[in-house]
Amino acid sequence: MPRLDPFAGPGFNAMSLLSKAVEDDAEFPLGLIELVKLRCSQINGCSYCVRTHIDKALTAGETQDRVDNVATWQEHEAFTDEERAVFALAEAVTLISDDRVPDEVLDKAIAELGEARTQQMVWIIAVINSFNRVAITARIH
């Protein structure tokens, strides 16, 4: 049973609006956005969000193979160089307290995506990490 109601109060509505604004502006396929959210949720250990983004990724047209192998993005042949840059950025931002965001990760993302799309992805990653933290704190499963 949840210890807190993460949907109560204005915070959830505001985060939902931010999430929609960020995604509406993003120049990425919805399936990739959902895979990024899935990967961040896996790293953070948010089982609620993992389940949610698996379902959303599949609904957005992602294959079961890509969903199943998002954790092995570095070596799995289903991911492009651009997608690998996205996942590297997602992992670095999610684990920011470990080593900040290494210059080579950010430089690679900018080289693959361009500055504007890199910034879009940073916001997508920031929002899902915020949702993960609220869900984990509330103990929703």
Are 37 and 49 within 8 A, CB to CB?
Answer: yes
**Residue 2 confidence (pLDDT):** 67
Does the pLDDT value for residue 141 go beyond 80? no
Q: Read off the pLDDT of each residue in 16-24 and give the average, rounded to a whole number.
A: 97
> Which CATH number characterizes residue 61's domain?
1.20.1290.10
Does the pLDDT value for residue 101 go beyond 70? yes
Between residues 7 and 16, the one the model is more confident about: 16
Q: What is the pLDDT of residues 43-86, one digit of tens each?
A: 999 999 999 999 999 999 999 999 999 999 999 999 999 999 99
Q: Read off the pLDDT of each residue in 96-125 and give the average, rounded to a whole number.
A: 96
71 inside domain? yes
Cα separation of 74 and 76, whole Å? Answer: 6
Residue type for position 17: L
Q: Structurally, how many domains does the chain consist of?
A: 1
Average pLDDT, the chain: 95
3 inside domain? no
Record the pTM.
Answer: 0.94
Range of the domain at 116: 10-138
**Residue 140 confidence (pLDDT):** 87
Instruction: Write the DSSP string, 19-83.
Output: HHHHHHH--S-HHHHHHHHHHHHHHHT-HHHHHHHHHHHHHTT--HHHHHTGGGTTT-TTS-HHH
Q: What is the pLDDT of residues 121-135, one digit of tens each?
A: 999 999 999 999 999
Angle of helix 81-94 relative to helix 103-113, nearest 10 degrees, comes to 140
**Residue 72 confidence (pLDDT):** 97
The owner of tokens 């379902």 is: 55
1 inside domain? no
Are 88 and 60 within 8 A, CB to CB?
Answer: no
67 inside domain? yes
5 inside domain? no
Does the pLDDT value for residue 1 go beyond 70? no
103 inside domain? yes
2 inside domain? no
Tokens of 1: 């049973």
Are 106 and 118 within 8 A, CB to CB?
Answer: yes
